[in-house]
């Protein structure tokens, strides 16, 4: 029997405010195998999640390293989402 795989999710900057959370733990559903699939799964939570996570230029990081959306998830990782940042 397979043990459930869990992720630690973190949300930064405007996402934290828009989603009213900065972090949570999530049991990874079997059908979610990539960062993109995780994003789409989280978007099912409602309109505010869809709006926040479909921000143009959104970044994702796994274990504090920026990754491509097709990066596989194994479970037990920290996944962070953050909007584009501007500097000056």
**For the domain that residue 56 is a member of, what is the CATH number?**
3.10.20.30
61 found inside a domain: yes
At 84, is the pLDDT very low, low, confident or very high (cuts 50, 70, 90)? confident
Q: Identify each DSSP E strand in 1-88 by its residue range.
A: 5-11, 23-28, 59-62, 65-67, 78-82
pLDDT at res. 2: 67
58 found inside a domain: yes
pLDDT at 86 over 90: no
Handedness of CA 61, 62, 64, 68 (dihedral sign): negative
67 found inside a domain: yes
Q: What is the pLDDT of residues 45-82, one digit of tens each?
A: 999 999 999 999 999 999 999 999 999 999 899 999 99
- Region 9-15 average pLDDT: 96
C-alpha 65: how far from chain center = 13
Q: Which domain holds residue 58?
A: 5-82
87 found inside a domain: no
Ordered alpha helix ranges (H), the chain? 14-19, 35-43, 47-53
At 3, is the pLDDT very low, low, confident or very high (cuts 50, 70, 90)? confident
Please state, in angstroms and rounded to a whole number, the distance separating the CA atoms of residues 40 and 64: 21
Number of domains in the chain: 1
């Amino acid at each position: 029997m397979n043990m459930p795989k869990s992720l630690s999710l973190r949300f930064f900057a405007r996402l934290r405010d828009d989603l009213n959370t900065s972090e949570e733990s999530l049991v990874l559903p079997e059908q979610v195998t990539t960062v993109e699939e995780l994003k789409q799964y989280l978007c099912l939570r409602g309109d505010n999640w869809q709006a926040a996570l479909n921000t143009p230029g959104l970044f994702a990081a796994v274990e504090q390293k920026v990754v491509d959306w097709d990066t596989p998830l194994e479970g037990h990782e920290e996944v962070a989402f953050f909007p584009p940042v501007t500097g000056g």
